Every structure is written in C-alpha cells, then in structure tokens.
C-alpha cells in the first residue's frame, strides 16, 4: 500500500541517518581515545620503582593501570560502536537490495541528511 511504502522509506531514511551518526560518534570516540594516550611511553616511566629509589619513576606504577583502564574503556566503546555500525549498514544494504527505487532514494536521502546533521 501507499502508506506502507511511505513508512518503509521513512524507516530506511532514519536508519541511514543513524548509521551516519554512529559513524561520526565512532570518530569522536577515536579522537578522545587518542587524546587520552600519554605523550610518551618510555620503559622507565612504566617500570615499577626500585625499593628506596627516589626518581621520576617513583609512584609511576599507579599511572599504567589508570592508563590501561581508560584505554580499555575507550576500546570497548569503539567496539560496540563498530558492531552497531556494521549491523545498521547491512540492514540498509539489504533494504536497498530490494531494488525499489523509493527505498534507494530514502537511503541516499538519509545518508545525506545524516552526514549534514
């Protein structure tokens, strides 16, 4: 029916917009993860301090677990974003593979609007 087709095109349009939003969110998360990395990782700054030692490495054993925890949290978030992006991409691709011109135009319009927003 006509209403079903309009609804289908609207759903594909929204899925395409969501795909673009997830893609952008993944890029923002990658930038944050890179900014969270320390400027330099030397073996000395990550090594356990020697007993009685008073050097720049003193107390740096706390740094590595905090750094690793932050990196791991970003990595898990990026993985989840990637899974959502792949699922949405395949859903839009399957809809386009119905060879319906209106569905195809809905996917193109959604991708355009999603990128613009």
- 114's tokens: 């999603």
Per-residue pLDDT of the chain (117 residues; tens, 9 = 90+): 999 999 999 999 999 999 999 999 998 888 888 777 766 655 555 555 555 555 554 445 555 566 667 778 888 888 999 999 999 999 999 999 999 999 999 999 999 999 999
Q: Which two tokens stand for residue 6?
A: 């309009």
CA distance 23 to 28: 9
Element (DSSP H or E) covering residue 9: helix 2-36
Q: Which tokens sit at 36?
A: 């969270």
Per the confidence metrics, is the pTM higher than 0.85? Answer: no
Distance of CA 30 to the CA centre of its chain: 7
């Amino acid at each position: 029916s006509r209403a079903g087709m309009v609804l289908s095109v609207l759903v594909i349009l929204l899925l395409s917009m969501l795909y673009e939003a997830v893609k952008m969110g993944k890029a923002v998360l990658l930038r944050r993860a890179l900014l969270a990395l320390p400027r330099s990782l030397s073996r000395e700054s990550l090594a356990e301090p020697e007993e009685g030692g008073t050097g720049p490495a003193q107390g740096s054993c706390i740094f590595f677990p905090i750094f690793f925890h932050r990196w791991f949290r970003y990595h898990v978030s990026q993985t989840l974003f990637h899974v959502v992006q792949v699922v949405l991409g395949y859903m839009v691709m399957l809809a386009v593979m119905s060879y319906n011109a209106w569905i195809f135009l809905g996917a193109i319009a959604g991708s355009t609007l999603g990128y613009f927003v």
